[in-house]
């Protein structure tokens, strides 16, 4: 099974560097990697480079033995699914419609009864079956976020990129979404990457962490290694204490410096 890795990645907006000499070791199928770091650290840019929405100025991204820059756009779309941070609502479409469009994007537009059932199951799995006939323009921010997750998980991809999928959600739905994402990566043997601001969610759900700061990858590895490193305090500019909860989860306590 293919792994995902990057070496010497660089990207700039004009003269302003956003990523520099970014490397991450092989990410494995069936695992979820959390991309962590402060605002403007380069997390969304890294996702855009992997998805093919921007081209690195240096370096390469490998999926197995394939340099992703060598893949035609359609082939890349088939292998990599990117859920951006912001959901574009369209007043003319229902929740069922937009998830069906994601399902049929690379398969042709003839809709069968099997397709209808697949979309219904995806909505139920995301906890939004009751919103099937709602117009996406009428949804709350949290509901829109859940629709985006359903759109992503209905795709059959090798790599899934979720850019802050919990940002508009309450605590219960944050846990539900990350549980669903994590279980989907295991069930499908897919590579999952999720950008998160909440270090406790990252500690609880991720198998692997990548810490970004000022356009560089500062640390990577299992949560118990990365979260205990001095790089966390230095990158976020806070004092950090790590304890273990009653369920053996790591708990991050942050204090203003």
Note the pLDDT of residue 87.
62
Report the alpha-carbon distance of residue 34 to residue 152 in Å, rounded. Answer: 17
Report the alpha-carbon distance of residue 29 to residue 186 in Å, rounded. Answer: 8
Cα–Cα distance list, 220 to 36, 60, 111, 184, 186 (Å): 10, 18, 43, 23, 21
DSSP 170: -
Inter-helix orientation angle 141-153/95-104, to 10°: 30
- Helices within the chain (DSSP H only): 43-51, 73-79, 95-104, 113-125, 141-153, 171-188, 199-205, 223-226, 230-236
What domains does the chain contain, in order, with CATH numbers? 4-256 (3.40.50.300)
Note the pLDDT of residue 59.
96
> pLDDT 10s per residue in the chain (257 long)?
799 999 999 999 888 889 999 999 999 999 999 999 999 899 999 999 999 999 999 999 999 999 999 999 889 989 999 998 766 666 688 999 999 998 987 677 788 999 999 999 999 888 899 999 999 888 888 888 899 999 999 998 999 999 999 988 899 999 999 999 999 999 999 999 999 999 999 999 999 999 999 889 999 999 999 998 788 999 999 998 999 988 888 999 999 87
Note the pLDDT of residue 229.
75
């Amino acid at each position: 099974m293919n792994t995902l890795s990057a070496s010497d990645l660089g990207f700039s907006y004009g003269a302003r560097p956003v990523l520099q000499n970014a490397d991450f070791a092989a990410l494995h199928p069936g695992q979820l990697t959390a991309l962590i770091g402060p605002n403007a650290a380069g997390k969304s840019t890294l996702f855009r480079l992997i998805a093919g929405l921007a081209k690195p100025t240096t370096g390469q991204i490998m999926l197995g033995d394939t340099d992703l820059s060598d893949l035609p756009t359609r082939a890349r779309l088939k292998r990599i699914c990117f859920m951006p941070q912001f959901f574009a609502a369209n007043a003319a479409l229902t929740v069922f419609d937009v998830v069906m469009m994601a399902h049929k994007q690379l398969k042709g537009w003839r809709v069968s009864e099997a397709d209808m059932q697949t979309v219904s199951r995806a909505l139920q799995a995301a906890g939004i079956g009751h919103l099937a006939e709602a117009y996406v323009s009428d949804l709350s921010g949290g509901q829109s976020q859940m629709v985006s997750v359903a759109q992503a998980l209905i795709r059959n991809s090798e790599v899934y990129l979720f850019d802050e999928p919990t940002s508009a959600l309450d605590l219960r739905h944050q846990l539900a979404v990350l549980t669903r994402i994590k279980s989907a990566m295991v069930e499908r043997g897919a590579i999952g990457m999720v950008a998160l601001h909440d270090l406790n969610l990252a500690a609880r759900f991720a198998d692997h962490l990548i810490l970004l700061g000022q356009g560089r990858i500062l640390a990577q590895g299992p949560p118990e290694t990365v979260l205990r490193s001095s790089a966390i305090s230095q990158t976020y500019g806070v004092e950090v204490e790590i304890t273990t909860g009653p369920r053996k989860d790591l708990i991050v306590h942050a204090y203003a410096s």
